[in-house]
Amino acid sequence: MGEDTARLVADFALLELDLVRVKGRETPLRIFTAVGGPAVAAGNDFKHLQERHAEMVGAYRRQDWPGAHVALSFCRPLAPALAGLYDVYEQRIAEFEASPPPPDWDGVFTATTKQG
């Protein structure tokens, strides 16, 4: 879901998936997923996941690849349902380790095609 929808369900257990720039749009969009309702959001398990997930995304955007790997390793067992997302981040991190983005990289993923 996008930022507008996320604001409407701010009491849900939401995690930021990515910051993306889509074809035909200049401004990056933050996209989120809901991992549960308000009861989940209030729980300690989600709060722990939310902290680790934010650490991973932050390290990724700072180009701190070792830090992103460590945070990712903590996220996986906390949210097995997000394995596909964490696989994507793991692949991106490995690609950036092999071929780093420029120093002024803004952490935004640029989608070159719209997916349905």
Q: Where do the domains of the chain lie? A: 3-106
Q: What pLDDT does 86 receive?
A: 96
For 14, phi then psi, to 5°, come to -110, 145
Residue 112: pLDDT band by 50, 70, 90 thresholds?
low
- What average pLDDT does this structure show over 4-28? 90
- What average pLDDT does this structure show over 55-82? 95
For 33, phi then psi, to 5°, come to -130, 150
pTM of the predicted structure, to 2 decimals: 0.88
Q: What pLDDT does 6 receive?
A: 95
